[in-house]
Copies of this chain bind each other. A is one copy, B any other.
Amino acid sequence: MPLQFNEYYNGRTGLAIGLKKLLFSKQTDYQLVEVYETDTWGNLMAIDGMVMLSEMDEFVYHEMLSHVGVFTHPSPERVLIIGGGDGGTAREVMKHASVKQVDMVEIDKTVVDASKEFLPEVGDFQNPKLTVIHEDGIAYIKKVKDPYDLIIIDGSDPVGPAEGLFEKDFYHQCYQALNSDGVLTTQTESPWVESYFPSIRKVYKALDELFDHSGMYLCYIPLYPGGMWSMMCASKGEGPMESSVLKRAEEGINTLNDLKYYNPEIHQAAFALPDFVKEIIK
């Protein structure tokens, strides 16, 4: 086992994470799933050599991908998560009293099994609101009969099995699988390394064309390339920055336990973009 996990976004530039122990490694039908014990961030899951999450920083990604979307909808009951096999996004969504049902469509059962065993604090798999479905999200979305209030796309990077999750066709299918006031959130990579993974502009344009409201927002994730991560929220109903949404977040925030990142001020602030990021999606 190497002493260090390295993820490079260009040349030999990227992350260095000290390792204590290899806990799990399996080449599945879809990807290489690994879990390491690190020297700083607790246990860490990597897929095809890219950091997915660590025990100590996962709260940022999961809180920001979930709560921005949930509060943008007036009262979401039915939620679909595409990907998200570690369970963290579902855990956050299920904290909301309005949410009655969460369907999580994770293509790779190994991700769920390894998370349950080595990242046990991340998921809330015993929660009766949750149904886990092992299927390709792109196939699943085409068959949805009973539409959802909120769809969260929690896939890995746009290489390998998650590549199709960054295509306009897929977002169009999601649009059709949403109710008339439906909301969608998705992770869209790092603006700092946009030149190496040029997917942000494409996704922004697709969502902007399909939905009544859409916006990019940012959060600080120390174990993702560059430490800045972008997400997008698109809505058929209220926009994610409308005052009614921010008011709902203000009123609802105290019903949510164990938040470490998201709060209503962060919800609003996350949509303020540095000039160079605006330039990328212009």
A→B interface (CB under 8 Å): 3-4, 6, 8-19, 38-41, 59-60, 192, 218, 220-222, 226-228, 259-263, 265-266, 268-276
CA distance A103 to B270 in the complex (A): 35
16 A-B pairs whose Cβ atoms sit less than 8 Å apart in the complex: A10-B40, A11-B18, A14-B16, A59-B276, A192-B220, A220-B226, A222-B226, A222-B228, A260-B274, A260-B276, A261-B275, A262-B275, A265-B272, A266-B273, A269-B271, A269-B272
Residues of B within 8 A of A268 (CB): 269, 272
CA distance A12 to B19 in the complex (A): 8
Residues from chain B with a CB closer than 8 A to the CB of A40 are 9-11, 13
Copies in the complex: 2
* B contact residues around A10 at 8 Å (CB): 18, 39-40
Contact of A228 among B15, B220, B271 (CB under 8 A): B220
Partner of A18, one of B13, B38, B41, B226: B13
Within 8 Å CB of A192, what residues of B? 220, 222
Min C-beta distance of A189 to chain B, whole Å: 14
Other than the known A8-B16, A12-B18, A220-B227, what 5 A-B pairs have Cβ atoms closer than 8 Å?
A15-B15, A60-B274, A227-B227, A259-B275, A269-B270
In the complex with contacts A13-B16, A13-B41, A260-B272 CB distance below 8 A: no
Taking CB atoms, residues of chain B closer than 8 Å to A222 are 192, 226-228
**How far is B262's CA from A273's CA once the two chains are assembled, in angstroms?**
9
